[in-house]
Chains A and B, each alone.
Chain A
Amino acid sequence: MSEPVGIHVEGVHFGYPGRPVLRGVDLTVRPGELAALIGLNGCGKSTLLRLAAGLLRPDEGRVLLGGDDLARLSRRAAARRVALLHQSSPAVPGMTVRHLVRQGRYAARGPLGMLREDGDGDPVVARALRDVGVERWAGREVDALSGGERQRVRLAMALAQDTRVLLLDEPTTYLDLHHQLDVLRTVVRLRAERGLSVVMVVHDLAHAARFAERVVALRAGRVVADGTPKEVVTPGLLADVLRVAGRVGEDPEGGWPVCYPDHPLPPLEYENHIH
C-alpha cells in the first residue's frame, strides 16, 4: 500500500461571470483524514469538491494533491490521483453493474487499454465490487437497481479508480437511513483499511459528527469553521452557518456532539388555518 496523500487548497477563488462562488478558501486535509464539509445549499461545497478533483480550474490560488499541482495534470493523470462521486447519477441504459464499475478504470488503462478484455476481469474492478458488496449482482442492469444499490455501484466505480483521495458529494442524499449508514460505514472501513483521504459533503450533522474527525463549515464561499466535531458543531454554528436555532448535546456513549435543531414555530397569522 502506498503512502496516504493529503490535499492542500491554497487561497482558491472561483466564480462565474458576475457570481463569485469561492472567495479565498484555504483547506488542508491531512493524509488519511476523513473530513466533512457542511454548509447551506449554494455556499460552494460542491464547487470546492470539483476544484479539488481538478474538474474546475481555480481563478486564483491552487490545489495540491500530495505535492502535485492539479492544474498541471492532464484530466487522466488527475483522475488517477483523486476520485469524485457526484451527487446525482444519470441513467445508463443497458449497462450492467460490472460494465459501469469497469469504466472507473479508464484513467489507469487509457482509451486503448479499455478495449482489451482481461481473461478473468480486471482485479481492481473485482476488488471494488467486493468493497461495496455488490459482486453478487455484477451482471444486473444498473438502471434496474434501487437508489441505495445504485449509489453503492457508483461508489464502486469511484473506488475502481484506485486513488488515494476520495471526494464524495452528498453520497447519502437520496437514500433512506439504512442505506445512508451502509454507504458511510463502507467509506469509513475502506479509509481505515487503505488509508484513503476522504472529503465528503453531508447535510446531516449527525453523520458529520459521528463519522468525520474533522468538520469544515462553509458560508458564502469562505471557510468559517474548521476543527473536530466537538469544536465546530455548536449552537453558534447552527445559527451562524446553517441558520437554524438549536441545542447541541453529547452522545451518552460515543461522546460526539448531537444536534437538536429546533426551528422556532412561525407566528400564528402565517399558518394555514381552516376557519
Chain B
Amino acid sequence: MTRRFAVLAALAVVCAGVGLVAGRGMSPVVAWEVLGGGGDPTERHIFFQLRLPRLLVALGAGACLAVAGLVLQSALRNPLAGPEVTGVTPGAVLGAVTATALGLAGWESPGTVVLAAVAGGCAGATLLWLLAGRGRGDPARTAVHGVLVSAVLGGGTAMVLLVEPGELGSVVQWLVGTTEGRVWQHWQLLWPWALAWGAAAWLLAGPLTLLRCGDDTALAAGLAAHRARALALLCAVALTAGAVAAVGALGFVGLLVPHLAVAVFGADLRVSLPGAALTGAVVVAGADAAAQLASRLLAEGLDAGRLTLPVGALTACLGAALLLVVVRRTPGHTF
C-alpha cells in the first residue's frame, strides 16, 4: 500500500514538473533557469505568480473532487453518483454565473465567486434534498432526482448567459473547467477549505464503509444510517463547491477518479479516501499539463496565439472513455 502511494506521489511530482514548464510564454529552458534562481523579473513573475498557484489549485481541486465523489458514491451506494449528477456542481456553476451577471463578482474578485459557488452548490444539494423528499433514503431515486436537478440548474445557467452575455467568453471557459489565470488568492481560499472538509470526510471513513455494505447491514451493525449519510453528503457538497469555485465545472473527475482509487487502494476508505485525493490531484494536474502542452503545440501548428485548451475539455474526453470501461466492467451490478 505504501508503494502504491509512493508511485502516485512520484506521478504527482512528474505531472507538477511538466505542468510548470509546459506552458506558453516561456520556454522550458527559461523555466528551469527561473527555478534555479535566474531569469528576469517578468519570467519570475510568470513562474511564481501564475504557474505555481495554477498548479497548486489544479492539485487541490482534483483532490477535492475525487474525495467528494468517493464520499458520494459510498454514501449513496451508487457507482454513477458524482458531484456532477447530484446538483452540486451545476448549482455552484449557476451561483457563480449569476453573481457575475449581476455584477457582484468578476473574475478579478475570486473571493466573491467562491462564496457564490458555495452558496449555489449548497442550494443545488438542498433542492435535491427537498425534491427527493421521503425517498431520499433510496439511492436509485436520489440519483434520478439528482439528474433532474442538474438539468434544471444547467438550464438556469443557460438562461443567465442568454440574458447577460457580456462575460460569456470567460464564463464558457469556466463552464468546462479551467485552471487558466488562477492566482495565489484562489489557492489561499481553496486550501483551508479543502483541508478542513477533507479531514471531516476522512473521520467519516468508518460510517461510510458501513454505508457501502447497504443500509440494512449498516443499521444492524449499529450505524444510524440516515444521520451518517446526511453528514457525508454535507462533506461532499462542501468539497465540490470549493473545487468548482476554484476551477469551474471540471467534468468526470468526481465521477471516475473514485473508481480508479478503489481499484488501486481497495474498499477500505481509511486508505482509499487519501488515495482518492492523491489520484484526483494527479489526474487534474496531469490533464492540466497535457492541456498546456497541447495548447502550445496547437498554437504553433495553427499559428493561433490566443488558443488555449481548457483542462475540463480534456478531463471530459478522458472521463467519457473511462466511464465506458467502468460500465462494461460492472455489468448487472448496482454497485
Q: Residues of A with Cβ closer than 8 Å to B?
A: 53, 55, 74-76, 78-80, 83-86, 89-96, 99-100, 103-104, 106-107, 109-115, 117, 157-158, 161
Chain A residues, CB < 8 A from B210:
103, 106
Query: 23 A-B Cβ contacts within 8 A?
Result: A53-B220, A74-B224, A75-B224, A79-B220, A83-B220, A84-B220, A91-B334, A91-B335, A92-B214, A93-B262, A93-B330, A93-B335, A95-B212, A96-B266, A106-B210, A109-B206, A110-B206, A111-B204, A111-B206, A111-B207, A114-B205, A158-B220, A161-B222
Chain A residues, CB < 8 A from B202:
115
Give the Cβ gap from B226 to chain A, nearest Cβ, in Å: 10
**B12-53 contact mask (Cβ, 8 Å, vs A): 1 or 0:** 000000000000000000000000000000000000000000
What's the tally of chain B residues with a CB closer than 8 Å to chain A?
29
Chain B residues, CB < 8 A from A91:
333-335
Across the interface, name the chain A residue whose C-beta is closest to B209: A103
Whole-angstrom CA separation of A90 from B77 in the bound complex = 11
Chain A residues, CB < 8 A from B221:
79, 103-104, 106-107, 157, 161
**Is the beta-carbon distance between A75 and B219 smaller than 8 angstroms?**
yes
Give the Cβ gap from A211 to chain B, nearest Cβ, in Å: 22
Whole-angstrom CA separation of A20 from B326 in the bound complex = 43
Across the interface, name the chain A residue whose C-beta is closest to B77: A90
Q: Residues of B with Cβ closer than 8 Å to A?
A: 77, 202-207, 209-210, 212-214, 216-217, 219-224, 262, 266-268, 270, 330, 333-335
**Is the beta-carbon distance between B203 and A92 smaller than 8 angstroms?**
no
Give the Cβ gap from B249 to chain A, nearest Cβ, in Å: 28
Other-chain residue from B205, B223, B268 in contact with A99 (beta carbon distance below 8 A): B268
**Is the beta-carbon distance between B334 and A106 smaller than 8 angstroms?**
no
Give the Cβ gap from B139 to chain A, nearest Cβ, in Å: 11
Across the interface, name the chain B residue whose C-beta is closest to A88: B216
Chain A residues, CB < 8 A from B212:
92, 95
Give the Cβ gap from B80 to chain A, nearest Cβ, in Å: 14
Whole-angstrom CA separation of A78 from B221 in the bound complex = 9
**Is the beta-carbon distance between B220 and A90 smaller than 8 angstroms?**
no
Across the interface, name the chain B residue whose C-beta is closest to A161: B221
Give the Cβ gap from B111 to chain A, nearest Cβ, in Å: 34
Using known A-B contacts A100-B213, A106-B206, A115-B206, determine if residue A93 contacts B222 with beta carbons closer than 8 Å.
no
- Most B CB within 10 A of own CB, among A74, A75, A83, A110: A75
- Most A CB within 10 A of own CB, among B207, B216, B270: B216
**Is the beta-carbon distance between B216 and A79 smaller than 8 angstroms?**
no
Chain A residues, CB < 8 A from B77:
90
Chain B residues, CB < 8 A from A79:
220-222
Give the Cβ gap from A169 to chain B, nearest Cβ, in Å: 10
Give the Cβ gap from A109 to chain B, nearest Cβ, in Å: 8
Chain A residues, CB < 8 A from B204:
111
Chain A residues, CB < 8 A from B223:
75-76, 106
Other-chain residue from B203, B222, B262 in contact with A94 (beta carbon distance below 8 A): B262
Across the interface, name the chain A residue whose C-beta is closest to B220: A84
Chain B residues, CB < 8 A from A157:
217, 221
